[in-house]
Structure 1
């Protein structure tokens, strides 16, 4: 087969383009720090990359939700600690006032302190987090308690149980949600009838305090003593609710550590899937450049550029 000069030129040009294309690829991989630029580069790895990126985005969303849930729970825990501490102080004062030893004026001082603590409980019961009421379920723009301690009707859902029951939940994992709020009736109890008219009008916690105050004002030590059992039961409830919140705070700390580890592992796997191996790519680029320059040098010697070169 006769090899013409034009055939040599065409073949040489094709080889040169091949060498130049390889050099361009390695250079592109190095400058972009990834070796996947289009689906055709490696369909399997591209599909894996898309899945990993989706999983990373979801883990970031879960991490944000976990942090938001943790902040809400920590605020609730702080508030529950304060409510429990104040109520424990009220019980201590109830014991002092009911023992029959104090003078009437001292009993009145005890009653005055209990009234102040009751007002403080009402204020804490209307506590907020970032401008949102923490004990009113979904109605976070409404206060839970009125000034006298009764439930604020617009803040609670009376259609079912007569008490708020809405739970605010955050999605913290695949098919996993976490409720972060405690509704008011868990803390202050159901409404009871304090006027003997058949209409519940006051949360039990405050009804018990009012009954205690009435007994102290009347100097009725027996009635004051009888209120201690109800207060003990209420205190157990407060401690139980506080324990539940504390357990959720501990659990969400574990969730936070886990989702952080998951995110790190996913990013490492994504890097191994699509990122450029810089050291190896630099070697490949240098090799491709050397091959390309060598091919240019050889081409310049084997292809005669002009007719004069044939006549020499």
Structure 2
């Protein structure tokens, strides 16, 4: 086969161009830290990357859901703690008022304090978190307790607010308000007020058992919420592990081995210089050089 100068030149230019492409690809990997920059570089890596990134996105969403769950549950527990303190104070006042040596005016003063404590309970029942009422079931836009002219109206919505915290795992983050801030509680407080003000003949000491029952309901609901909180913490630990694993798998699939990339770049630079040196020698001789 006849080999001409044009063939040598074209082959040399083609190989130098390919060398530039390999160097550009290696430099791109070094600057981005990724094995590929477009799906056409390696379709298999690209497809796996999409699947791994989807898994990571789901895990990150579960982390945000867990944060929302912590917000609801911690605020619910804090509110019930305050409500328990209020009921315990009401019980102390009831014990004090049941003393037969107190005068009617003194019982009336205790009744006024209990009225204020009852209104404080209403404000606790209407606790809002991020603009949502947390003690009205899944109806988070309306207050669960309304007080008008001393009359308390209580919602009976006991539907749970479920948040998905892992794949297929939903946990209710609110409490059942009908077991805590219910008609029975506020009716007992209203009757206690009436007895202290002389509008009710029921003995004041009889309200102690009723108050104990309401306090026990609060404590039981807090205990149930605490059990769910412990479960949420276990789910959080598991999701955190999944996030670490998902990031590692995604990194193994997409991230470039920097040490190897630097070595490849140095090798490509050496080969490129050698190709340029050989090319300069090939293109230098011409027919005129031999006719001189």
Normalising by the smaller structure, the TM-score range is: 0.7 to 0.9
Matches within 5 A, 1:28-177: 28-147=28-147, 148=150, 150-151=152-153, 156=155, 163-177=156-170
Q: Does 1:247 align with 2:227?
A: yes
Instruction: Normalising by structure 2, report the TM-score.
Output: 0.88
**Equivalent of residue 205 in structure 1, options 166, 181, 185:** 185
Q: How much has 1:14 moved relative to structure 2?
A: 3.3
Q: How much has 1:234 moved relative to structure 2?
A: 1.5
**Does the CA contact (< 8 Å) of 1:149 and 1:206 recur in 2?**
no
Q: Does 1:229 align with 2:231?
A: no
Q: Closer, same or farther in 2 for the Cα pair 1:311/1:28, shift >3 Å?
A: farther
CA RMSD of aligned residues (A): 2.5
Deviations 1:157-194 (A, max 9, x none): xxxxxx212222222111112222224312123xxxxx
**Does the CA contact (< 8 Å) of 1:26 and 1:284 recur in 2?**
yes
State the number of aligned residues: 290
2 CA distance for matches of 1:76 and 1:34?
A: 46
Deviations 1:210-230 (A, max 9, x none): 222333334989722222222
Instruction: Normalising by structure 1, report the TM-score.
Output: 0.83
**Does the CA contact (< 8 Å) of 1:138 and 1:166 recur in 2?**
yes
Deviations 1:98-118 (A, max 9, x none): 243434443333322222211
Q: Does 1:272 align with 2:265?
A: no
Q: Does 1:23 align with 2:23?
A: yes
Which is further off, 278-287 or 241-250? 241-250
**Does the CA contact (< 8 Å) of 1:67 and 1:256 recur in 2?**
no
Q: How much has 1:45 moved relative to structure 2?
A: 2.4
Which is further off, 213-222 or 40-49? 213-222
Runs of 4+ with >4 A deviation: 219-222
Q: Closer, same or farther in 2 for the Cα pair 1:237/1:80, shift >3 Å?
A: same
Q: How much has 1:257 moved relative to structure 2?
A: 4.0
**Equivalent of residue 182 in structure 1, options 175, 183, 199:** 175
Which is further off, 242-251 or 269-278? 242-251
